[in-house]
A and B are shown apart, each in its own frame.
Chain A
Amino acid sequence: MSFRFWRSKRSEDLDDEIESHLKMAARERMERGESSAQAEISARREMGNIGLVKEATRDVWGWRWIADVAQDMRYGLRMLRKSPGFTAVAVLTLALGIGANAAIFSILDPLLLRKLPVRNPDELVLVHSSGSMDPGGMQSYNGSDDTDFVVYRDNNHVFSGVMADGEMQYYQVTRDSQTNSVRGETVSGNFFTVLGVHPFVGRLFVPDDDRDSAGSAAVVLSFDYWNREFHADATVIGKIIPIRNVPCTIVGVTRPEFFGVNVGSSPDLYLPLGDKPHTHWVTVFGRLKPGVTLAQAKPDLEAVFQQVLAQSSVPYIERPGSMARLVLTPAARGLSDLRENFSLPTRILMAVVGLILLIACSNVANLLFARGAARRKEITVRLALGAGRWRLVRQLVTESALLALMGSAVGLLVASWASNLLVGSLSTEHYHAVLNAGLSGRVLLFTAAVLAFTVLLCGLAPALSATRVDLSQDLKTQTVGMNRSVSRLRGGTLNVVGQVALSMTILAGAGLLLHSLFNLETFDVGFDRNDVLAVTFNGSGQGRTPEQINAFYDELVERTRNLPGVRSASISSYSQTTAEMGLNVAVEGHAPIPPLESHVFFNTISPRYFETMGIPLLKGREFTSQDNGNTSSVAVINRTMARHYFGEQSPLGRRINFDTGRKWPTMEIVGVVADSKYNDLRESATDFIYVNRTQMRAFHPDTNIRGVLDVRINGNAQMLASPIRDALRSLDSSLKIMSVRTLREIIDESLHDDRLIAALCGIFSLLALVLTCVGLYGTLSFSVVRRTNEIGVRMALGARPGNIFGLVIGQGMRLVILGLVIGAAGALASASLLAKLLFGVKGADPVTFVGVSVVLMVAAIVACYLPARRAMRVDPMVALRYE
């Protein structure tokens, strides 16, 4: 304010000074005999361009740019207010482009870039082991035992501290006679000190907390949980809450920004690991002593790793698979399952929104080009009056900067909403994603950079073009300059081709993902995913003899079968969608093979299981009720296993045994069933063996009643859920029913990530398509306005409306097809990036490419239609008078 005041005061002074100069010059001329009017004119002429003299003088005051910027802003705002339609479209377009970028970056940054909020995160190292069982390419953290952790902690010479992070589990917490399930993480007593984090209130763990004292333990609450459940009441420190029925003393609360070491999840509370050996699987982290590099630390830790192996509880047979060698990984960014799953998709999405920003910028640039053309007269006059070209360019760029600024403001609003939505959609029923997304300072900084880029991209070229005028020519032209229109039009058409190409690339990518998702959803998983309900139950069999337990299962299946709408029912230990248990097998008459290759997954099932699941029986027979503890043990294997061991020979009648220390009967193979997917739809076929439940229990009696009741149904699954629950309860009211879900629901959850990524890419591709159509529409409309005169002449010379319509559509579609070809080439080139996410689709999938081309063409025709119709309706009389 004071600056502006000072500035205007000096400007007035300068006006006075120049005025006095002119007066004195005029007076002197009058004294020499000129008339007063003549003298004044001569004095002015002598001085030249008064405005420019003043401006040149004001220049030397310095700080001119501030005044100029302020003036430009005022002027720019006035111009934008004058054309609200243009402003709205431009701001909205930029808001979508910038907002999408800010939103994706707000996820990408905490997930992939940000370091843990702990002291010197770069010193942290993840200490783990790996072996041949690791899935290729994936980072895996083969858990260490808690005793391994102690060995690492006490025997290394390179870490200033070693701590352990246990698994996240659900704990029952009782408060005010209400029991809630909360997420808790067990951590070593030195967890917080090694990380170098401080409490918000109270204290964090100390090594002594690991000492189990008479069934009581300390607990540290997360800030969020404390805030949510205890209303940020600092007096809860010292209080005792029962966790899993163990009284725990609340000792402190972590700081708000601290979320542990797992990016993407955040425990509600931390519990001490305790000192009972072999009770927890943990992840071990070390903090390097200052100045020690990872390479320097390696030899020392290799020696410690040998000590770890010497005491490890992992059987030797398993070691080549998981403990073959020590792996040290820098852990400044912590661990993250979420990162593993979403690293590639997030990068792809970032690239996609980058392309969308390009499309948005090119749209706004188009609008600005058109505006520049409309303002040609004004600009020409200003240049003729002596305005500097750079000054005008600056003013026009300021206008685009204002647009971009408003776009960013709206975009950030969109982003903050979208960011929350995105984090929310990362969670599933069984995975709660917690990510410090939202609009952090880093996101704002990123947005500022995007904004600057946007201004350069969409503001500079139109400003340069608008001010490139030929004074003598353009002053004479009365309307929207016909001259030079060719080159300017070319700019617009180039933009359209570019936009179509970018859209095509994004659309093709989204199309491939959608096609892949469709494949995943309709893929033959080897069983019937639609009509099978999996009911997981768990209870105690206490007080029952093994015979009674068997009778219980038989009764359960019988009752379920008799429910209306049920076609068949069976019981298995695990759901068909989770291959949990694996063992090594030995086949009689087959040369011994290494343990890793003789690994099979297995499930124990009751009769009519395959019928219930809809798994085709290829050879032999299913289990029947005649297979029981008194008859010889039988097994069914899948096709892959049959091929693996028996090639083209029939496996029926061959004998097989589990290669474990435990006593197990030799089983006769009585059937071969088709392969199915067990864990993950993307897994390759693996060996699988089905064992008879009744026979297995005869060898390994289970005192608990637990398993999965598989029910094949007719019609609505939800309708049957409650009768089945009732049937279970009526048999044993103490039975816990964990879940009642169709296999489709279970599989769908495993497809959650695929669906999310496909949906996001789909939404973004739609956005790209809309922006492109708007751009196409704008360019063609502008071209029709420019060619009004020409169209009039054509019509006067006998062109029919249909010809004109075809002319405009043809002009548009030529550009679209050119862009389409370029975009398809771009999509083909970048499809390899998607390869890892695709299922059953190749990068160069003709169906997808043709499909999205058609979508794009149809949308483009719609965009061309309106301008073409307008051109068709041009009245030749009006048009000819138009210039």
Chain B
Amino acid sequence: MKERYQNQIELLQGTLDMLILQTLQWGPRHGYALSQSIRTNSGEILKVDTGSLYPALHRMEKQKLISAEWKVSENNQRTRVYRLTVKGKKQLVAERSRWSQLSDAIAGVLNPVKSEGDA
């Protein structure tokens, strides 16, 4: 049942968490704004499904990576706003460095540098 709610472009395991943490770095946001930010910043490529977003948010809240509070938005709309915790910031640093290692490694595999050994 859960597989039905994975994103159109499949995010790698744990990637959604990193994207959420990264997006929250710019400031507290509610769920809808988060999904819109990720979508816009990815050039409309990454669509975050609500069926994955909210479980992720609630899970990360439980893990104390983010915290949540109720706020009233400019349109007088009661919304639940998430912000990064200290633990979440540390987690983001760790995940970013892991990600850059991973993407370097993948890039290395996909575009091998023509080097000394090649004849």
Q: Mark B46-86, 1 if CB is under 8 A from A, else 0.
A: 00011110110111001000000010010101111000000
A30 to chain B, nearest CB (A): 12
Q: Report chain B residues within 8 Å CB of A47.
A: 50-51
Q: Is B99 at the interface (CB under 8 A from chain A)?
A: no
Residues A27 and B75 in contact, CB atoms below 8 Å apart? yes
Q: A20 with B54: in contact, given A48-B5, A60-B59, A60-B62 (CB under 8 Å)?
A: no
> B residues within 8 A CB of A388?
1
A823 to B39, CA, bound (A): 69
List of A residues within 8 angstroms of B62 by Cβ = 60-62
- By beta carbon, the residue of chain B nearest A21 is B32
For the complex, what is the distance from the CA of A815 to the CA of B57, rounded to whole Å? Answer: 59
Complex: how many Å from CA A18 to CA B30? 10
* Bound Cα distance A303, B32 (Å): 92
- Closest A residue by C-beta to B35: A21
Q: CA separation between A459 and B5, bound complex, in Å?
A: 31
Q: Quote the shortest CB–CB distance from B19 to chain A (angstroms).
A: 17
Q: Looking across the interface, which residue of chain A has its beta carbon closest to that of B2?
A: A56
> At the interface, yes or no: B31 with Cβ under 8 Å from chain A?
yes
A580, CB-defined interface residue at 8 Å: no
Number of A-B pairs, beta carbon distance below 8 Å: 69
Q: Is A53 an interface residue (CB 8 A)?
A: yes
Look across to chain B and name the residue whose beta carbon is closest to the beta carbon of A387. B1
A59 contacts B78, C-beta separation under 8 Å: no
Known: A60-B55, A388-B1. A16 touches B50 (CB 8 A): no
The A interface is mostly helix, strand or loop, or mixed, namely helix
Least CB distance, B31 to chain A, in whole angstroms = 5
In the complex, A237 has a CB within 8 A of chain B: no
Question: Do B31 and A48 touch (CB < 8 A)?
Answer: no
Q: Select B31's contact among A21, A59, A60, beta carbons within 8 Å.
A: A21
Contact B80 A20 (CB under 8 A): yes
**CB-based contact A56/B55 at 8 Å:** yes
Is A445 among interface residues, defined by CB-CB distance under 8 A? no
Interface size class of B (residues with CB under 8 A): 20 to 34
Bound-state CA distance A53–B32 (Å) is 14
| Contact between B80 and A53, CB atoms less than 8 A apart | no
Q: Mark A51-67, 1 if CB is under 8 A from B, else 0.
A: 01110110111100000
Q: Does A24 contact B (CB under 8 A)?
A: yes
Residues of A contacting B73 with CB < 8 Å?
20, 24
Chain A residues positioned under 8 Å from B77 (CB to CB): 20, 23-24
A60, B2: Cα distance in complex, Å: 13
Residues of B near A386 (CB, < 8 A) are: 1
Cα–Cα, bound, A24→B35 (Å): 12
Cα distance A53–B1 when bound, in Å? 11
A326 to chain B, nearest CB (A): 70
* B32 touching A20, Cβ below 8 Å: yes
Decide: A24 near B51, CB < 8 A? Known: A17-B79, A56-B2, A386-B1.
Answer: no
1/0 per residue, CB under 8 A from B, across A225-264: the answer is 0000000000000000000000000000000000000000
Q: Bound complex: CA of A447 vs CA of B51, how far in Å? A: 44
The closest CB in chain A to the CB of B36 belongs to A28
Let me know if B78 and A20 touch, CB within 8 A: yes
Q: With a CB–CB cut-off of 8 A, which chain B residues contact A54?
A: 54
Task: Please tell me if A555 contacts chain B, counting CB pairs below 8 Å.
Answer: no
Complex interface: chain A residues within 8 A of B52 (CB): 56
Q: Which of B49, B57, B75, B80 contacts A48 (CB 8 A)?
A: B49
CB distance from A39 to the nearest CB of B (A): 13
Known: A17-B79, A48-B50. A57 touches B32 (CB 8 A): no
> Within the complex, what minimum Cβ distance (angstroms) separates B81 from chain A?
10
Q: Does A25 contact B (CB under 8 A)?
A: yes
CB pair A13–B80 under 8 Å, yes or no, is yes
In the complex, the answer to whether A53 meets B51 with C-beta atoms within 8 Å is yes
CB distance from B43 to the nearest CB of A (A): 18
- A754–B114 Cα gap in the complex (Å)? 96
Chain B CB within 10 Å, residue with most, of A23, A28, A62: A23
A49 contacts partner chain B, Cβ-Cβ < 8 Å: yes
> Which residue, B30, B51, B75, B77, has most C-beta atoms of chain A within 10 A?
B51
Enumerate chain A residues within 8 angstroms of B32, measured Cβ to Cβ: 20-21, 24-25
Shortest beta-carbon distance from A475 to chain B in Å: 19
The B21-39 residues at the A interface (CB cut-off 8 A) are 30-33, 36
Given contacts A17-B80, A18-B54, A24-B73, 15 further A-B contacts (CB under 8 A): A17-B79, A20-B30, A20-B73, A20-B77, A20-B79, A23-B77, A24-B79, A25-B32, A47-B51, A48-B50, A53-B54, A56-B54, A56-B55, A57-B57, A61-B62
A-B contact pairs, 15 of them (CB 8 A): A13-B80, A16-B78, A17-B30, A17-B54, A20-B79, A28-B36, A47-B51, A48-B50, A52-B51, A53-B5, A56-B52, A56-B54, A56-B55, A61-B62, A62-B62
Closest 8 CB pairs of A and B: A60-B59, A57-B54, A24-B32, A17-B80, A21-B32, A56-B55, A20-B79, A53-B51
What is A's interface to B at a CB cutoff of 8 Å? 13-14, 16-18, 20-21, 23-25, 27-28, 46-49, 52-54, 56-57, 59-62, 386, 388
